[in-house]
């Protein structure tokens, strides 16, 4: 809805976020997690998932227990485990030594630690025991995402049949598209049951690829930040889980020039990147509100009676001007 050349829109929903403002969700300190969430709330992301990176099961267990308390107060919408059940060949910034195949015991341990607030898990469906884990997680009410995977298209389809419904940061951390081996992206694009995450930071995807995914999967693209603690911060040295990350020119890489290690662009920046790629304004807004909300089974991401009063005022270029969360103004107003 336009307001004197501006837009009144639902608050943004980020379903994949590791931290921001110098703070991490991969922590045993509830105050640090709250500070990370507050950074994104003030920017216009009124609903944020707390994403964790691969670590030892006992460390993830402790982090989930802490974050469950933060989720209980509504400061985060729940937790997202990105690992440790990932492919070593497509690990990205995840340490190979921490990766493993899922076991029923470990799945149940982490479900218990989440206390009902573990909302999404990313795993590689080709790993031993992965399909059993998909079924167990879905039965527990957890959204299963496929990512950091070398799976072929048939394996992806089998995992979707088992209940998986999201592709984690499409094109990144997975077998690439090939004309004789279509891989995860093509399988997800062709399946109406799958929501495709895309990182709209102008680094992870070429603008033409970003626009192509939007065209091929209308209504099923969810813009995500994949933000790490340096989001909204100057260049420097930060940490992502157990690893040191160097940010140079706004691009985060593992120390020593390694893999891209998340993004430094909060979700509102993905709106401008999408618009520059030719994505229509309302389509981009839908990908940052209704699509992720629907993928997670949330009641946010829309302006309707009974919905949370999470509202943004944006200018014609989709720059956030004012933020209301639960009806309370929290973001900086601009003239």
- Asked if omega into 84 is within 30° of 0 (cis), the reply is yes
Q: Are strands 251-254 and 243-248 parallel, antiparallel or unpaired?
A: antiparallel
Closest CA to 228 of 10, 90, 56, 82: 82
User: What pTM did the predictor assign?
Assistant: 0.95
- Tell me if residue 226 is catalytic: yes
* Separation CA 299–CA 292 (nearest Å): 11
CA dist list (Å): 24 to 32, 63, 89: 7, 11, 26
Please pick, among 14, 106, 191, 226, the residue that the annotation labels catalytic: 226
Per-residue pLDDT of the chain (335 residues; tens, 9 = 90+): 445 678 999 999 999 999 999 999 999 999 999 999 999 999 999 999 999 999 999 999 999 999 999 999 999 999 999 999 999 999 999 999 999 999 999 999 999 999 999 999 999 999 999 999 999 999 999 999 999 999 999 999 999 999 999 999 999 999 999 999 999 999 999 999 999 999 999 999 999 999 999 999 999 999 999 999 999 999 999 999 888 999 999 999 998 878 899 999 999 999 999 999 999 999 999 999 999 999 999 999 888 888 889 999 999 999 999 999 999 999 776 54
Q: CB neighbours (10 Å) of residue 246?
A: 18
Q: Are strands 166-167 and 195-199 parallel, antiparallel or unpaired?
A: parallel
Evaluate whether 227 touches 19 at the Cβ level (below 8 Å): yes
* Separation CA 85–CA 278 (nearest Å): 35
């Amino acid at each position: 809805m336009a307001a004197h050349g501006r837009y009144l829109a639902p608050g943004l929903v980020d379903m994949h976020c590791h931290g921001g403002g110098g703070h991490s969700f991969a922590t045993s300190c509830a105050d640090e997690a709250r500070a990370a969430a507050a950074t994104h709330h003030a920017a216009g992301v009124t609903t944020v998932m707390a994403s964790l990176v691969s670590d030892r099961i006992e460390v993830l267990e402790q982090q989930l227990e802490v974050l469950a308390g933060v989720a209980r107060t509504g400061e985060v919408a729940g937790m997202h485990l990105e690992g440790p059940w990932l492919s070593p060949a497509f690990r990205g910034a995840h340490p190979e030594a921490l990766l493993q195949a899922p076991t029923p015991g470990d799945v149940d341990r982490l479900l218990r630690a989440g206390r009902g607030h573990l909302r999404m898990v990313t795993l590689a469906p080709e790993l031993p025991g992965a399909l059993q884990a998909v079924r167990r997680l879905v039965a527990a009410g957890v959204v299963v995402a496929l990512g950091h995977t070398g799976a072929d298209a048939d394996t992806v389809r089998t995992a979707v049949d088992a209940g998986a419904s999201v592709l984690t940061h499409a094109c990144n951390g997975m077998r690439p598209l090939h004309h004789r081996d279509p891989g995860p992206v093509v399988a997800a694009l062709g399946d109406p049951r799958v929501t495709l995450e895309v990182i709209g930071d102008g680094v992870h995807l070429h603008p033409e690829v970003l626009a192509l995914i939007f065209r091929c999967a209308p209504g099923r693209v969810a813009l995500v930040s994949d933000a790490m603690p340096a989001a909204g911060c100057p260049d420097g040295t930060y940490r992502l889980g157990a690893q040191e990350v160097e940010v140079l020119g706004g691009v985060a890489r593992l120390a020593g020039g390694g893999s891209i290690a998340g993004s430094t662009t909060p979700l509102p920046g993905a709106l401008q990147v999408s618009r520059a790629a030719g994505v229509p304004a309302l389509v981009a807004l839908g990908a940052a509100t209704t699509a992720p909300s629907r993928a997670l089974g949330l009641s946010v991401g829309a302006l309707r009676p009974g919905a949370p009063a999470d509202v943004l005022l944006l200018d014609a270029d989709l720059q956030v001007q004012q933020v209301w969360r639960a009806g309370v103004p929290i973001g900086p107003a601009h003239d």
